[in-house]
Amino acid sequence: MRSTSPVWHPFTQHAVQGEIPTIVRTEGAWLEAEDGHRIFDAISSWWVVTHGHRYPPIMAAIRAETERLDQVIFAGFTHPPAEALARELVAITAPELTHVFYSDSGSTAVEVALKMALGFWLHSGENRRRILALEGAYHGDTIGGMSVGERGVFNAPYEPLLFDVGRLPFPHHGREQQTLDALDAACRDHAVAALIVEPLILGAGGMLIYAPAVLAEMARICRRHGVLLIADEVMTGWGRTGALFACEQAGVAPDIACTSKGLTGGVIPLAATLCSEPIFAAHYDEDRRKTFFHSSSYTANPIACAAALANVKVWQSEPVIQRIAALAAIHAKALDRFRGDKRFENIRQLGSIAALDLVVPDAGYLADIGPRLYRHFLARDLLVRPLGNTIYLMPPYCSTEAEIGRVYDAIAAIEL
């Protein structure tokens, strides 16, 4: 039956969705529905919540900031939370990243990154406009983000709006050299401005993992050809892969890095695109046409910046990496029981993320099994949103072994 609510939900086919739970309270790794029952948030509410829902120091920082500031125009003005946060972000990322541009979502962080890259080359007097991206990538749902993302079901209707990019094969295990060779060949074209990658793991593209050594080699090839490297750390940032940022695991310093989601601990929207000094310098000119023409009304919202600053302090004062390591050990132990189980294949894990594929005749995002799996988990009070036949867990770092065990028990109970 068609819902009477006027709300149109994201990535939701209302014709098949079924009833949509109304959540009235969140706590730790749990969502509480209006009828009182609790749902375990095994995917951190779309990968944003890191320490747990309503993590006290972050909520306290938000409350405190609301006593001082609301929104302040960020063109020609600044404020303490934005300044302090930018200094922290520069301090905790690669030393090459020296400037911080704020926006509001992962998609806008990517748009900003692409615009920075093109602006850099234009203002440097070189005609480099082509972007390279990985097959299967997902970088958001704005036009630029969709353009660099894999073409397919997510963006097919908008194809006429999307710009052409150079696509590199995903570095599947054993076939990494193909990717590196394709990158090297593509970079010989002097029109290439930048390569954009999700470091170490494709998120919405199916939780596909590749080795840090491959990322490091991609960075070296880019450097050799003067091609900018954009790291989209929107999903991978803030500990998901076991390190604060995934690039650290490969010893890679990108020219541009995008962060959002866990930036505020997942409480409130905020994004930042960090860039190197040469990129800022290329836009720094008395010629006002070289201004970086990107804005959004809510750029660097002070309350969001205060939340992010509190999140950085949590990272500095609490053993977050150890919590993630403990979570990774729980996954590793739990995944073992599915090895040799004929229903599953490609059992994999990176830090706090675990994934496995169900063996079905129609793999992919629209696999028939997808909606059935979603209902299977929801019926057990578990929020798991399989990507087609790919089941993954990405729980908040406060999740316990018993909580995570419930999800693995539910996976074990799947009947094909």
Q: By rule CB under 6 A, what string of x and - marks binding of each residue 123-142 to ligand PMP?
A: ---------------xxx--
Quick one: which of 49, 61, 110, 243 contacts ligand PMP (CB under 6 A)?
110
Local structure of 384: helix, strand or coil: coil
Strand runs labelled E in 118-266: 130-134, 166-168, 192-197, 201-202, 208-209, 228-232, 256-259
Q: Which of 114, 131, 204, 267 binds ligand PMP (CB under 6 A)?
A: 204
* β-strand partners of 26: 31
* Nearer residue to ligand PMP within complex by CB, 79 or 139: 139
Number of residues in contact with ligand PMP, rule: CB under 6 A? 14
Site for ligand PMP in 257-286 (CB under 6 A): 260
Closest by Cα among 207, 200, 184 to 243: 200
Helices (H), 149-253: 176-187, 212-225, 246-250
Alpha-carbon distance of 16 to 101, in angstroms, equals 40
Q: Are 122 and 289 in contact (CB under 8 A)?
A: no
**Are residues 342 and 372 in contact, defined by beta-carbon separation less than 8 angstroms?**
no
- Residue closer to ligand PMP, measured from CB, 203 or 370: 203
CA distance 270 to 280: 21
Query: Which residue number, 26 or 105, has a Cβ lying nearer to ligand PMP?
Result: 105
- The burial class, CB within 10 Å (0-12 / 13-18 / 19+), for 46 is middle
Does residue 386 belong to the site contacting ligand PMP (CB under 6 A)? no
| Residue 232 engages ligand PMP in binding (rule: CB under 6 A) | yes
Binding residue for ligand PMP, selected from 52, 81, 106, 254, defined by CB under 6 A: 106
Residue with tokens 């660097």: 300
**Residue of 89, 97, 196, 235 that binds ligand PMP (CB under 6 A):** 235
Amino acid (1-letter code) at residue 172: H
Q: How far out from the chain centre does Cα 204 lie?
A: 9
From candidates 107, 241, 301, 349, binder to ligand PMP by CB under 6 A: 107
> Which position among 146, 165, 214, 234 is part of the footprint of ligand PMP (CB under 6 A)?
234
Judged on CB neighbours under 10 Å (0-12, 13-18, 19+), 322 is exposed
Does residue 331 belong to the site contacting ligand PMP (CB under 6 A)?
A: no
Residue of 44, 105, 147, 299 interacting with ligand PMP (CB under 6 A)? 105
111 in contact with ligand PMP (CB under 6 A): no
197 binds ligand PMP (CB under 6 A): no
Q: Which residues in this chain contact ligand PMP in the complex, by CB under 6 A?
A: 105-107, 110, 138-140, 198, 203-204, 232, 234-235, 260
